[in-house]
Amino acid sequence: MFRAMAGSQQAREGQRAPGAGNPPGARGETTREVLALRNLVAMYRHLSGLAVQNADIAAVTQLIAEQTHATVAIVSPTMDILTAAAPGETTEGASQYVRDLVIHPRLGDVLGAASRARLPADAGHRRRGQR
C-alpha cells in the first residue's frame, strides 16, 4: 500500500503494526478504503508534480517503486529494459534483477499465451454494447 504523507494522521497510524487499531467489520473496510483513496490522491499529486517538472521516465519509475514498495520496470516490446527502480536498490541493481527475470526461459511462452488470449482493442466495446 502507498505511504501517507509525513505528519498526517495516516502516517502516524501507518507506523503501527498492520491491522492494529483497525475497527472490525464494515467500518474497518471503509477506513481502509478511505486511506487507500487518500494515498491514491497523494500519488496523483506526486506524479503531477513530476509532470510539471518535466521529469523523465526514470523519476516516475522511482516514485512508483518507492510508493508501492515493489520493483518497477519499463520494458520495450523487444524486452530491452528502458529503466528500472526498486526501494533501497540502485538503478543498476534493479535493472539486473529485472534482466534476470526477463531472460527466464518460460517468459516467451507466458507472453505468447497472454497475447493470444487478449481480445482486439475494440472487442471489449462491442461486447459491452451487446448487453
In the chain, the number of structural domains is 2
What is the per-residue pLDDT across 50-105, written as a single tens digit (0 to 9) for each?
988 999 999 999 999 998 899 999 988 788 899 999 999 999 999 999 988 888 77
Contact 87, 66 (CB under 8 A): yes
Q: Has residue 63 been placed in a domain?
A: no
Instruction: Work out the angle between the directed axes of helices 57-68 and 25-52 (0-180°, nearest 10).
Output: 160
- Asked whether residue 115 falls in the same domain as residue 86, the answer is yes
CA atoms of 11 and 7, how far apart (whole Å): 6
pLDDT at 123: 56
CA atoms of 83 and 73, how far apart (whole Å): 6
Q: Has residue 62 been placed in a domain?
A: no
Q: Would you say the pTM of this structure is higher than 0.85? A: no
Q: Characterise 4 by phi-psi region: left (phi > 0), alpha (psi -120 to 50), beta (else).
A: beta
